[in-house]
Amino acid sequence: MAITSSHPQATSTASPAAPAGQPAPSAAYLAYLRRESRRQTLVQVSRAGLLLAFLVLWEVLAKTQVVNPMLTSYPSAIWPTFLDLARNGNLATHTWATFEATLVGFVVSMVAGVAIAAGLWWSDFAHKVLDPFLVVANAMPKIAFVPIFYIWLGSEYSVYGMAVAISIFITIMVAYEGFRGIDPNKIKLARTLGASRWQVLRLVVLPGSVPTLLAALKMNIGLALVGVIVGEFQSASEGLGFLIINGSQVFKLNIVMTAIVVLGLLSGLMYLAIAWLERSMAKRYG
């Protein structure tokens, strides 16, 4: 006897998109997915439109002399400057110098910061002693250290020193708060099962602090870049910061704006790399 359309299972498998053994998505869920897709498209279009409107406004204001183009440059003048710098190799050299220093400062500050935060978690006495000093060091304007680093480390390595100085203290405090935020019941359970303090740190605290450490990564990549640029402003002979300060001294604003645009692209690419790492880690620890 043939099964009629009134059978309850006939309507539950109406969607061809449902995998075998799983119920078909409801109409409300499909409508939600369509709304989210439209929303994401609208967000992307709005971003592109906002950027385009900014560039057009910048171009028009400079061309109509509402703002002085000698002081602000304008988008159509930046592209030829970009090509000129790219052809003579200066752009690649300066961009690589900034990227390399940022990467070194970022890695050193993350590794050292997490290690120090782990030490503070390990010894509550050390945390109570050092906490006010860390707060004060983080609040100090790091640009004051530039001449000191220049004397101590020289013109080349002072840039790395600035990158580490700006980012390491916030890394320590953020990582430590993440370690302290671990559920104490999990730590008690691990200790009850015979785990040593090192095993608790390695198997419970560090994996449980992955979201906090990823947030520290996002902050640190920007802070390290700020430190590098500040250092290049003061003492470097290459890098995007040097290109910016050198161009401003000779009133070549096209070079300054080109370097700023490249700096924005570089920071955006590094942020996207961290975001990709965050998604990858979320699949593993989510």
Chain-centre distance for alpha carbon 268:
8
CA dist 30 → 16, 33, 40, 245, 273 (Å): 13, 5, 15, 54, 31
Q: How far apart are CA 105 and CA 120, in angstroms?
A: 22
Phi, psi at 125, each rounded to 5° = -60, -45
Find the radius of gyration of the CA atoms of the chain. 27
Residue 173 has pLDDT above 80, yes or no: yes
Could you read off the pLDDT of 152-162 as tens digits, one per residue?
888 778 888 88
pLDDT of 15 reads 44
Q: How far apart are CA 164 and CA 151, in angstroms?
A: 16
Tokens of 26: 């409801």
Tokens of 20: 């075998």
Tokens of 244: 């910016």
Contact 238, 73 (CB under 8 A): no
pLDDT of 116 reads 93
81 or 156: which carries more pLDDT confidence? 81
pLDDT of 21 reads 59
Residue 63 has pLDDT above 90, yes or no: no
Give the dihedral of Cα atoms 222, 227, 232, 238; nearest 10 deg.
-50
Residue 151: count of CB within 10 angstroms of its CB: 9
Residue 13 neighbours by CB under 8 Å, 6+ apart: 24
Q: How far apart are CA 200 and CA 184, in angstroms?
A: 11
Indicate the pTM of the whole model. Answer: 0.76
DSSP state of 205: I
pLDDT of 56 reads 92
Tokens of 14: 């109406």
Could you read off the pLDDT of 13-59 as tens digits, one per residue?
444 455 555 677 778 888 888 888 899 999 999 989 998 999 899 88
Chain-centre distance for alpha carbon 34:
30
Residue 145 has pLDDT above 60, yes or no: yes
Q: Hey, what amino acid is at 5?
A: S
Tokens of 118: 């782990």
Q: How far apart are CA 85 and CA 99, in angstroms?
A: 17
Q: How far apart are CA 212 and CA 219, in angstroms?
A: 11
Could you read off the pLDDT of 188-240 as tens digits, one per residue?
888 888 888 888 888 888 888 888 888 888 888 888 998 889 888 877 778 88
Could you read off the pLDDT of 228-273 as tens digits, one per residue?
898 888 777 788 888 888 888 878 888 888 889 999 899 889 888 8
Q: How far apart are the first and last CA of the chain?
A: 49
Chain-centre distance for alpha carbon 12:
45
